[in-house]
Structure 1
Amino acid sequence: MGIQDIIEGKKQWRAHMARVKALPPDYQIVYKEMQRYLFKVGPIDLPDGPLLPGIVDFFEEGAASGKGVLELIGTDVAAFADELIKDSTTYADLYQDSISGKPGTAEK
């Protein structure tokens, strides 16, 4: 990864966060909680993948239609986030795969 890639990534992240800050306050709170949760348990392609921008798109549409954020996702934010990543490989999956070798066998 070159310096230009890093600079471009920062520009994209700042533009993404500017979209988040333009959301109504309740949407911002829920987005930040989801983001925090997903960075802990989420898919390995989270920083570069389409998930976070997709959530912002979904929230922008909901805000434009005048709905509250909990009307869109329900009251269990973690369950909603889990549903979004249910078919994705997570860091926990990678870790589990790395330690699931049979007893007495060592990787060489």
Structure 2
Amino acid sequence: MNLWETITGNDLTREWKAFTARAGALPADYQAAWGQITVHLFPYGDFTGRNLTPILDAALGLLEASSADGLSIHEVLGDDIPGFCAALAGGEGARTFRDRWREQLNRNVARKLGRLGG
């Protein structure tokens, strides 16, 4: 990856198109599960989402292998897709972008109030 691709995000676009093509080859129930996985993983992404690329690749690989083995999507993911995604992202206590933004906002407000009150 070169600097230009990093700045423009072309590398992410190319990877996302590859993910979409791979997911399109899956059976319909697996495609629906892939859609839910992406929705539930995006809150764990950083500003660019580059930290999710290996996680999404691994999740899609799991779906491809399970589909090839003839397993049902329920056997692979169970009933709790949000919990599965939280585990992929680093556990139930993994911080989402909302958590990071909330902490930053609280620090900024506390700093401003400290300046006004002191």
TM-score clears 0.5: yes
Are 1:55 and 2:59 matched, yes or no?
yes
Q: Partner residue of 1:72?
A: 76
What amino acid is aligned across from residue 22 of structure 1 in structure 2?
A: A
Q: Percent identity?
A: 23
CA distance in 2, matches of 1:46, 1:90: 13
Q: Partner residue of 2:40?
A: 37
* Cα distance, 1:6 vs structure 2: 4.1
Bigger CA drift: 46-55 or 86-95?
86-95
Q: Which has the higher helix share?
A: 2
Q: Partner residue of 2:98?
A: 92
With normalisation by structure 1, the TM-score equals 0.78
What amino acid is aligned across from residue 45 of structure 2 in structure 1?
A: P
With normalisation by structure 2, the TM-score equals 0.72
* Cα distance, 1:89 vs structure 2: 4.5
Unaligned runs of 5+ in 1: none
Q: Partner residue of 1:18?
A: 21
Unaligned runs of 5+ in 2: none
Q: Which has the higher Rg, Structure 1 or Structure 2? A: 2
Q: CA RMSD in A?
A: 2.6
Q: Deviations over 1:17-51 (max 9, x none)?
A: 10000011111001101112222x22317732301
Q: Deviations over 1:84-108 (max 9, x none)?
A: 11355431231132133347335xx
Q: Partner residue of 1:105?
A: 114
